[in-house]
Structure 1
Amino acid sequence: MEAPWGTINAQSGWSVSAQQPEEAEAEAEDFSPLLSNELHRLGSPGVSFGFSVFNLMNAIMGSGILALSYVMATTGILGFGLLLLMVALLASYSVHLLLSMCIQTAVTSYEDLGLFAFGFTGKVVVAGTIIIQNIGAMSSYLFIIKVELPAAISEFLSGDHSGSWYLDGQILLVIICVGIVFPLALLPKIGFLGYTSSLSFFFMVFFALVIIIKKWSIPCPLTLNYTEQYFQNSNATDDCKPKLFHFSKESAYAIPTMAFSFLCHTSILPIYCELQSPSKQRMQNVTNTAIALSFVVYFISALFGYLTFYDKVASELLQGYSKYLPHDVVVMTVKLCILFAVLLTVPLIHFPARKALMMIFFSNFPFSWIHHSLVTLILNIIIVLLAIYVPDIRNVFGVVGASTSSCLIFIFPGLFYLKLSREDFLSWKKVGPCALLIFGILVGNFSLAFIIFNWVNK
């Protein structure tokens, strides 16, 4: 398909053609019917609105749900709600900008938008950002396995098994990555895991329900008597009073973690291309619905997690339940569900990361199992090392959220719109993208600097 404003040049990337703006606009308006015709030609009616919402929610919801209760503890209930709502609205707006650029340029991937805007350099920058983002996401999943799998195993055992290799999170992590993650990630096609990974959404909803129920099983204050295994309950303490607004140096992790949790922008354009009766407005409605539902699940799980542990909430929420409700059948079940979802998601995230790496280093070479296996192995080693040596999952959310997530949600959509849009630079339509770009730069740099400052001080 020829792009509205230019053609692809093998040497220099995109080159501007002599096509007039009116012709470009007319062709852009015809982009959605072209998608429908392509789906019809392939014998596919497209994906329904409901399933598109479901697919996008699967792309949105992930390990970030385990860290949001800690974020609420560092910002307060109202502070958290306002910040989460702001990030959700900005994520929806940035998707609007991406869809506008998709219509205008007739490209269907985030990397190609970078190519269209800034040539091959732009495509490499976007691909590199996606690689770092996916590495951060995979390492956060493996961190959860390292921490929670030994606890899950120990809850099924009786007696003292301390010091055993099967309760060492690092050993278990290496075994799982070598025996399960790496072989699955090596497959050239892994479509069957796409179906099983859809269970992760139901696991997240189940997780939120368990958090609500278990709020009433852990009294406050959280004073654990290890000799008699019961809680000393007292309401006469400030430890059990929720804070509406609370900001400290730990609040620097708030917006990056939220940005990490709402990142779905690399999936927007592929879902749009498969949408039944595709149009910009229909895809925007899919996005708004998915983000709104994800916001509800995120807020409810964060709220009841915070109201359970208050200021003692762990940076990875499941750690608190392992400590205060050992051998609880419901908690053990939800923990196994989360671990199962995490385990099957890691190989899937390998694919876009490996694709981006192959595009950067081996784009001019035919498919080779040597290249394929080497890149997969390197990615696997990197994420295992990060999961082993990163001491706290909030560091992953903070650094990745402040850098790559900010770029993919805030900076790139605003920058691409300013570069590619045909409106005058002083047009009111460019005020929003400009503000989004400035917001992303300021928040990303400020949060990253503050997080690094905290590391240095510690």
Structure 2
Amino acid sequence: MLQSTTSESGLPAEPVPGDTVHVIGHGPAAFVEAVASADGGLRYKVSYPDGTQDFVASKDVLVSEDSKGQRHFRSRFDSGPVVNEGPSAALATAGSTTPALPFTMMSPRGPRQLEYLGRSFDDSRRNIATPSATFSLVATMVGGGVLSLPYAMSQCGLVLGTICLLAAAVGSAWTLDMLVDCARATGRDSFELVGHAAFGEFSRKMTIALIFAICWLTKIAYFVLMADLLVPLAERALPHVAAAQGQDAFRRLVVTGAALLLSPMCFKSSLAALRFMCFASVGSVVVVGAVVGLRAFQTFGQAHEIHVQLPDGQKPVIVQAAYHMWPADWSKALYSFPMFGVSFLCHFNALPTHQELQRPTRYRMRMVIGTTLCLTSVIYLFVSICGYLYAGCYTCGNILLNFSSDDGLVTVGRGALGLVLMLNFPLICQPCRNAFFRLISDTACIQGYIADAQEAEQEIADTSSPDIYLEETVRRPAAEAGVQLGSPRWPGQFSSPPVGPRSPPTAVAPTTHTNSNSSSFARRSPPPAGRAEAAARVHVYLREDTRGGRGGSERAGSLEAFDTFMPKDATVQQSSSEPTQFLRCVLTAVLLGSSLLVSMFMKSIMVVWAVVGSTVSFLIAFILPALFWYKINGSTASPFRRRAALALVGFTSIMSAICFVLALANLDMPPCPLQVPSPGKLGLVALEF
């Protein structure tokens, strides 16, 4: 239950400089000072996240929260403010000149009693049920990377490998919940905008660059995997061409042919027809996992023949049923450790899923995250353990390389997964191109190749008169407060720029809504808005009303927002520009050609996963979400949670540095182990040629 904070006189406490407040119709702000108005009341000077400042009536400040997280619950909507006799009473004196807060103290986070949703709770566009949202995230995680998990398990051992995989799942669930927490505290519905809310424009650019990097590296990984899967099929179909070309040349020929086949889809601006691929992707992985499990069951507990990929072709290996529980070589275990983290990477899709989830209570979203990680962990554990039990210490970076090209059942799995990867490739190419475009869209050389996505937004902005806006929001309140202003430069020295037609402050009469704690809030209808403004508008709810589940108050009927506002930050308001058709084709060709060229020099898929996992994956999955959460929500969290978040950042940063060094030292790693362990040590026998 929220507790009201009072002064020694028993009256509700006034905010003090630095408090986070929510201003009706404007959103989160930082309290600067209180200034006496001409009628003897108070007006609050507040600073918005974009650095602009404004004077607002004290009755329009719903909740304040000091820098230590102490809550001041305000439910007064009377015409005159209450003046305290406590320390904050000094703020009621006319002519107060408390210095403005530095920009670094301003945050788009609102008070923690409130939830901010980019789409309203019952928006018709929220049409994804909990099972569909869960399957969508599972499909994002599960893919070709599952083929490398048996190798990671073989290097870490069954006990440590299982611990690492489950720890990665728990850590991913934790950081996914952090991202959702940041989104609900700021109203931002994308990874990059959460980064912008935390650390500004540099952080936004960095998150875009990381999304581009993970997509581009994933394209390289897909090319390597397609070569691993399609070359055995091509060798069976064209044995004479394979013998004449040689292994390396034939491999490059196959992957180039695959690139040419899928390239027409990569140049398209929309790939709505391929949305069904998430089902095919999960289905093909399940088929491959079933094949690996079947072969492991058939050979369990007995010596059997497997295959490894050597420089001169595929060769047979006789391996006995001997497995180790802990790493035989700790450096190789550390080298393969990032594979567990990258397997659970879906953080850039978590917030779009949250944006489209029906009735997005915290309980429902946590159920989606928890169920997703549990299902994915079961699939990963099954494939990784079965793959290791089948291939032993000769487990390849791609477990399908351990099977003979003559195995008909495995051939079906190779073909199905290879076809799915080819059809999935354009789905990776599109966000890669979009992220790259956003990175370079500010450069002068491509300004002529940018198409406006929504020209109506400019028309909406043009309907707002600067003179009327300044008169209503700056000069008139300041004059009532006894403050003299000069001629501020547009968009105003103290007020935010307009983002659409403004409604007069008294046009809508507030109604009263009482929650379970009998605390009153003003419920106001949003002002008239254009299409662009409606898309960017943030909806405000009580945290306890959107909790849901046990101990929550999820309602059967509609949950109405008690306030809505337009974000003050121009970065959130701006429409996303799009490249012209010519620029889209140029960017696609550059990204497709560069990823294909790099993939031709990659011998092992583990090289790609090691680089991706030790750099981009650690940043996106663990380091940045924890840092964003600490910056946005850390001031109101318990000391234990803050220390835990910092510990996660420190541990993953150290592991990232170590694993990256090992990844660089093993860039020439072969696709399968070449060294034969001592038979007496591990119970294995040598290669038989």
Q: Decide: shared fold, TM above 0.5.
A: yes
Instruction: Pick closer, same or farther for the CA change 1:330–1:358 going to 2, 3 Å.
Output: same
Identical pairs, percent = 19
What CA distance in whole angstroms lies between the structure 1 residues aligned with 2:293 and 2:115? Answer: 47
Post-superposition Cα deviations, 1:51-97, rounded to whole Å, max 9, x if no partner, equal 11100000111221010111111010111000001111000000111
Instruction: Pick closer, same or farther for the CA change 1:101–1:231 going to 2, 3 Å.
Output: closer
Instruction: Pick closer, same or farther for the CA change 1:389–1:3 going to 2, 3 Å.
Output: farther
Amino acid at match of 1:266: F
Partner of 2:643: 431
Whether 2:654 is the aligned partner of 1:445: answer: no
Partner of 2:616: 404
Q: Give the superposition deviation at 1:297.
A: 0.5
What CA distance in whole angstroms lies between the structure 1 residues aligned with 2:421 and 2:49? Answer: 38
Instruction: Pick closer, same or farther for the CA change 1:161–1:391 going to 2, 3 Å.
Output: closer
Partner of 1:332: 411
Whether 2:421 is the aligned partner of 1:342: answer: yes
Count of paired positions: 436
Amino acid at match of 1:69: P
Amino acid at match of 1:251: A
Please give the root-mean-square deviation of Cα atoms over the aligned residues, in Å: 3.0
By relative contact order (CA 8 Å, sep 6+), the higher-ranking structure is 1
SS at match of 1:29: strand
What CA distance in whole angstroms lies between the structure 2 residues aligned with 1:223 and 1:399? Answer: 28
CA contact (8 A) 1:91 1:409 kept: yes
1:79-98 equivalences under 5 Å are 79-98=160-179
1:372-391 equivalences under 5 Å are 372-391=584-603
**Which of the pair has more CA radius of gyration?**
2
- Runs of 4+ in structure 1 off by over 6 angstroms are 16-19, 230-233
Whether 2:360 is the aligned partner of 1:278: answer: yes
Structure with more strand by fraction:
2
What CA distance in whole angstroms lies between the structure 2 residues aligned with 1:456 and 1:188? Answer: 37
Instruction: Pick closer, same or farther for the CA change 1:351–1:87 going to 2, 3 Å.
Output: same
Instruction: Pick closer, same or farther for the CA change 1:28–1:4 going to 2, 3 Å.
Output: farther
Partner of 1:66: 147
Whether 2:453 is the aligned partner of 1:241: answer: no
Q: Give the superposition deviation at 1:3.
A: 6.0
CA contact (8 A) 2:216 2:432 kept: yes
Instruction: Pick closer, same or farther for the CA change 1:4–1:332 going to 2, 3 Å.
Output: farther
Q: Give the superposition deviation at 1:285.
A: 1.1
CA contact (8 A) 2:292 2:386 kept: yes
What CA distance in whole angstroms lies between the structure 2 residues aligned with 1:76 and 1:445? Answer: 23
Whether 2:258 is the aligned partner of 1:176: answer: yes
Deviates more, 1:248-257 or 1:91-100: 248-257
Whether 2:120 is the aligned partner of 1:35: answer: yes
SS at match of 1:314: coil
TM normalised by structure 2 equals 0.59
Query: Which residue, out of 413, 416, 435, partners 1:356?
Result: 435
Deviates more, 1:184-193 or 1:163-172: 163-172
Query: Which residue, out of 596, 602, 605, partners 1:393?
Result: 605
Instruction: Pick closer, same or farther for the CA change 1:427–1:301 going to 2, 3 Å.
Output: same
1:260-299 equivalences under 5 Å are 260-299=342-381
1:121-200 equivalences under 5 Å are 121-156=202-237, 161-164=242-245, 168-180=250-262, 182-200=263-281
What CA distance in whole angstroms lies between the structure 1 residues aligned with 2:382 and 2:397? Answer: 17
Instruction: Pick closer, same or farther for the CA change 1:185–1:5 going to 2, 3 Å.
Output: farther
Post-superposition Cα deviations, 1:192-251, rounded to whole Å, max 9, x if no partner, equal 112134210011111111111112455624377xxxxx9897xxx8x4211111142211
Post-superposition Cα deviations, 1:141-162, rounded to whole Å, max 9, x if no partner, equal 1101122212012234677851
Query: Which residue, out of 108, 132, 137, partners 1:51?
Result: 132
SS at match of 1:222: strand
CA contact (8 A) 1:70 1:314 kept: yes
Structure with more helix by fraction:
1
Instruction: Pick closer, same or farther for the CA change 1:358–1:14 going to 2, 3 Å.
Output: farther
What CA distance in whole angstroms lies between the structure 1 residues aligned with 2:297 and 2:668? Answer: 39
CA contact (8 A) 1:4 1:104 kept: no
Deviates more, 1:291-300 or 1:428-437: 428-437
Partner of 1:227: none
CA contact (8 A) 2:242 2:250 kept: no
What CA distance in whole angstroms lies between the structure 2 residues aligned with 1:70 and 1:176? Answer: 26
Q: Give the superposition deviation at 1:118.
A: 1.6
What CA distance in whole angstroms lies between the structure 2 residues aligned with 1:16 and 1:420? Answer: 19
What CA distance in whole angstroms lies between the structure 2 residues aligned with 1:429 and 1:136? Answer: 33
What CA distance in whole angstroms lies between the structure 2 residues aligned with 1:456 and 1:160? Answer: 27
Whether 2:303 is the aligned partner of 1:220: answer: yes
Whether 2:105 is the aligned partner of 1:105: answer: no
What CA distance in whole angstroms lies between the structure 1 residues aligned with 2:325 and 2:639? Answer: 39
Where does structure 1 lack aligned partners over 5 or more consecutive residues? 7-11, 225-229
CA contact (8 A) 1:68 1:258 kept: yes
Amino acid at match of 1:35: S
Partner of 1:316: 398
Q: Give the superposition deviation at 1:282.
A: 1.1
Q: Give the superposition deviation at 1:165.
A: 8.7
Deviates more, 1:17-26 or 1:440-449: 17-26
Amino acid at match of 1:354: R
